[in-house]
A and B are shown apart, each in its own frame.
Chain A
Amino acid sequence: MTTATLQTQATTRSADGARALLVAAFLGLGLVFVAGFAPATVLHNAAHDFRHAQNFPCH
């Protein structure tokens, strides 16, 4: 293995990690928003007891 391949691998890995980080953060924030914050009444009513129990500010 040459230094060049090692470098390419390292770059690919960190780009891969950055992508995974963005996907995880974006999906995570989206799901937490839906469960804990979404103002739609239907979502609020469905998640009501969870929001109270997990101390999300609720109605």
Chain B
Amino acid sequence: MIARLLSAALVAGFLASVVATGLQLALTSPLILQAETYEGEGAHAALAPFLDAAPDAPFAALIVPAHAHAHGEGGHDHGKAEEWQPAPGLQRMAFTGLATLVGGVGYALLLAAVMLALRREPTPQSGLVVGIAGFLAVALAPAIGLPPELPGMGAAPLVLRQSWWLMTVIATGLGLYLIAVRRVPLTILGGLVLIVAPHLAGAPQSVDTVSSQVPPAAAAQFAARSLAIGFVFWAVIGLAYGWAWGLFGREAGTRANA
């Protein structure tokens, strides 16, 4: 059972990450690169060490308030100029793909765990349903309070945003479970309360939202594309997990009969 689950999750995570990586490279990465040119505002890679060394430099003021560190410009919030980062171009794309693979397999394993806990036999259909629930809980619900952001957009402290994100994902997931699986008036009411509560509490908001240089059109496009990719990612994970579960089950059956 463990081998079948892990194999199916690996296959699903791999297939979904291939699709999502293609979409990210085509749709979101160009916008991220474009936004990073605003993040540094006039600072070039050659100037970055100088900026770190001399925070009083006249143009450093442009960088610090908008954003604690300049991505892809060699600067970093730890004050070290030489933190490793992937080289621009192919290497950066490869690491984006690798991160998507790790995340995709991780999501597929969590989807597998949820289906097992719910005692749902994984099929492409049931996988898709859980995958869409995953999209709602992990991508859409947190995006209501913390819309997908381009680098260089002002934002509240990271730990606050991560806590709110995690809380919202758990509350929404639990709420969906109470509504869709338990399905009695009391749990539906409780589920609705759980789903709405994080948004009533409110996401940590940025103190400084006006000074961002990133064009609003690019930011809006990024948010929409990010959610679209998230939907495809989760849908493929669910579909492929159900499919691969059946595939590995058949193979095990064939071996047992031989």
Contacts and interface: CB of A to CB of B under 8 A. Distances in A.
B77 interface: yes
Contacts of B116: 17, 20-21, 24
Interface in B49-84: 67-69, 71, 76-78, 83-84
A53 interface: yes
Contact of B110 (A17, A19, A29, A55): A29
A27 interface: yes
A55 B86 contact: no
Interface in B116-136: 116-117
Interface stretch (B189-197, B225-233, B249-257): B225-233
Contact of B102 (A35, A55, A57): A35
A53 B113 contact: no
Contacts of A51: 99
Contact of A24 (B32, B113, B161, B162): B113
B84 A50 contact: no
Contact of B1 (A17, A25, A46): A17
A3 to B, nearest CB: 22
B28 interface: yes
Contacts of B147: 55
Main secondary structure, interface of B, reads: helix
A42 B148 contact: no
Interface residues of A, number: 37
A55 B107 CA distance: 14
A54 B158 contact: no
B103 interface: yes
Contacts of A54: 103, 139, 226, 229-230, 233
Nearest to B142: A55
Nearest to A33: B106
B162 A31 contact: no
- Give the residue among A16, A47, A53, A58 with the most B Cβ atoms within 10 A: A53
Interface stretch (B2-10, B40-48, B179-187): B2-10
Given A24-B116, A41-B83, A49-B96, A55 B103 contact: no
Contacts of B6: 23-24, 27
A32 B106 CA distance: 5
Nearest to A39: B158
A16 B233 contact: no
23 contacts: A16-B2, A20-B1, A24-B113, A29-B106, A30-B106, A31-B103, A31-B109, A42-B83, A46-B95, A47-B102, A47-B103, A48-B151, A49-B24, A50-B24, A50-B96, A50-B99, A52-B151, A53-B226, A54-B139, A55-B142, A57-B162, A59-B67, A59-B71
